[in-house]
Amino acid sequence: MTAQWLGGAVLAAAALLVGPAPAEAQVQTQPPSQTQAPAAESDRTTILEENDSLYFNSDKHYTQGLRLSDLLGGPPAPGGFWNGVFDFFGIGPIFAPGGNRRVALLAGQSIFTPKNLSLKPPDPRDRPYAGWLYGGVSLLQENGGHELENFELDFGMVGPGTLAKQAQNDFHQFIGADQARGWSSQIQHEFGGMLSYERLWRVGLVGGNRFGVDVVPQAGVTAGNIFTYADVGGMLRIGKGLAADYGPVRVRPALSGTDYFNPAGLDDGAGWYFFVGTQGRAVARNIFLDGNSFRDSRSVPKKTLVGDVEAGVSVLWSKSLRLDFSVVQRSEEFEHQRAPDTVGTAALTFNW
């Protein structure tokens, strides 16, 4: 969406998800408090924009993603509703007692288009027009100061009710850009969702929390009528205050960052880091390429194996203010796609 600023792996994943954390994960980047977050914390809000025209002259495929999230202040109260939800899903090694638990609420909209926006009807070999409007909740638990679990439920709808057509064309009209003409062929209404479970490990390589280098391997699975895939990946970071998080948040599917944040992991109340990472996915279901589940709709043959490469910078001026910027290159997702896609991301996080 032009210049819009606001608008096999399966087995490896399964083994990592149920296995114990690596021994070397207990590293210098461990925060001062391993299992206790500060008692008086305010909510922490993140506004994330992903857009192929954010830093580049592009307007195609995954063209825009807006995600709003709120990390609720402090851990859930013992005996409270959210703590009960953690306990309900706590089976075997999942959400074992003793971790630092946090809850994030989220909402977002994603927009997908073919490359040529002037065709009506659009090229049947290119990806379909589609929108995804959703809300969700993320259950986050840090274990021992070096391992993070994330259980996320996203639910919403695909189709005209997402207002993706209006979001794109109204903005194009505002900036004097050409309208996308093929939205009458978009994927039709379908309610749906996806459940995701992932684990991330923070492994120190050099130095400590004042200045150091770490790697954050991760593995996860997602299942639903919107997306179904398994993923493995990792992120290399260099900077200070690395113990405060496990990487910047992203719109799924992507190299997994989360809303988790522990201010005790900052260095003298601040932090920054450069990062590079990659993720591979084995994709069984992608409604934005496969089309509707129970009715005829536009579709294209998808590729089963998809990968991302990402690089960026995160700056945490204090526990109350943060900025993240990154560039992501995504490999071809469907047959007849001629080149990888590049997407820019920018995020603002603040406490209130």
User: Phi and psi (nearest 5°) for 233?
Assistant: -175, -170
CATH code reported for the domain at 10-351? 2.40.128.140
Domain ranges of the chain: 10-351
pLDDT at 3: 38
What six digits make up the tokens of 291? 């089309």
* 276-289: burial string, b at 16+ Cβ within 10 Å, e else: ebbbbbbbebbbbb
How far is Cα 270 from Cα 263, in angstroms, rounded to an integer? 9
How far is Cα 187 from Cα 128, in angstroms, rounded to an integer? 7
Residue 322: beta bridge partners? 316, 349
Q: Rounded to two decimals, what is the model's pTM? A: 0.88
**Cβ-based neighbours of 32, under 8 Å, separated by 6 or more:** 264, 265
Give the pLDDT of the chain (352 residues) as one tens digit per residue.
Answer: 443 333 344 333 434 443 443 433 344 445 444 444 444 679 999 999 999 999 998 899 999 999 999 999 999 999 999 999 999 999 999 999 999 999 999 999 999 999 999 999 999 999 999 999 999 999 999 999 999 999 999 999 999 999 999 999 998 888 888 899 999 999 999 999 999 999 999 999 999 999 999 999 999 999 999 999 999 999 999 999 999 999 999 999 999 779 999 999 999 999 999 999 999 999 999 999 999 999 999 999 999 999 999 999 999 999 999 999 999 999 999 999 999 999 999 999 999 8
**Cβ-based neighbours of 23, under 8 Å, separated by 6 or more:** none
Ramachandran region, residue 336 (left: φ > 0; alpha: ψ -120 to 50; beta: rest):
left
Contact status, residue 27 vs residue 79, Cβ threshold 8 Å: no
How far is Cα 270 from Cα 250, in angstroms, rounded to an integer? 22
pLDDT at 28: 45
Q: Which of 280, 247, 277, 196 lies closest to 17 in space, CA to CA?
A: 196
The one-letter amino acid at 228: T
How far is Cα 235 from Cα 233, in angstroms, rounded to an integer? 7
What six digits make up the tokens of 287? 């409604």
pLDDT at 177: 87
Per-residue pLDDT tens digits for 285-315:
999 999 999 999 999 999 999 999 999 999 9
How far is Cα 132 from Cα 287, in angstroms, rounded to an integer? 10
pLDDT at 40: 62
Per-residue pLDDT tens digits for 314-336:
999 999 999 999 999 999 999 99
Helix/strand/coil (H, E, C) string of 7-36? CCCHHHHHHHHHCCCCHHHCCCCCCCCCCC
